[in-house]
Amino acid sequence: MALISLIISAAALAGVLVSLVYQSRQTRISQEASIRETHRELLMLSLNDPVLRACWGSPSNELPNDQARQVMFANLIVNWWQTQYVLKEVSEAELAISLTTFFRGEIGRTYWNRVRPSWGRVAEAAHSKRKKRFVAIVDEQYRLAVSGSG
């Protein structure tokens, strides 16, 4: 009888632990979504306003208005992919396929060429192996595209 109680208690404890792990993941996903939404809103405000765009201190400030807007929009796309990758909603293979298409266009190549040093510095400072891996994947696909192999 004591053994059965012990097994039931262990199973209940395991259930609580699984629930806590799941809640922790959901909380992290919610936090990440909230942060990304705020970032998106800030970018959207400055997308059509060169005065606000200058606040970012971005290299895109040196571009003509339309091209600067395209580079900012490309940033939104890459950040979206990063969120999906970090949250394990997209595999490396799926990401590579999207990036291959992205880098076929001049805007995607222009964007990554301009921002890759910053993404690299942020990746090195990050505590997340997936964020570092994301930048490595993007950079690899970019190099393939500019070398004509992608």
Query: Which runs of consecutive H residues, i.e. helices, occur in the chain?
Result: 2-47, 50-53, 65-86, 92-102, 106-125, 129-147
The helix-helix angle for 65-86 and 2-47 (nearest 10°) equals: 180
pLDDT for the residue numbered 150: 60
The whole-angstrom separation of Cα 96 and Cα 122 is 21
* Distance (Å, whole) CA 107 – CA 101: 11
Domain extent, residue 32, equals 2-147
Per residue of the chain (150 residues), give pLDDT as tens: 788 888 888 888 888 888 888 788 788 778 877 877 887 787 778 778 888 878 877 766 778 888 888 988 999 999 999 999 998 999 999 999 999 999 999 999 999 999 999 999 998 898 889 999 999 999 999 999 999 876
User: What is the reported pLDDT for 60?
Assistant: 67
pLDDT at position 90, please? Answer: 95
Name the pTM for this structure: 0.75
Provide CB contacts within 8 A for 69, sequence distance 6+: 47, 48
Structure tokens at 135: 């930048």
Q: Which tokens in the block code for residue 114? A: 């301009």
Tally of structural domains, the chain: 1
pLDDT of residue 59: 63
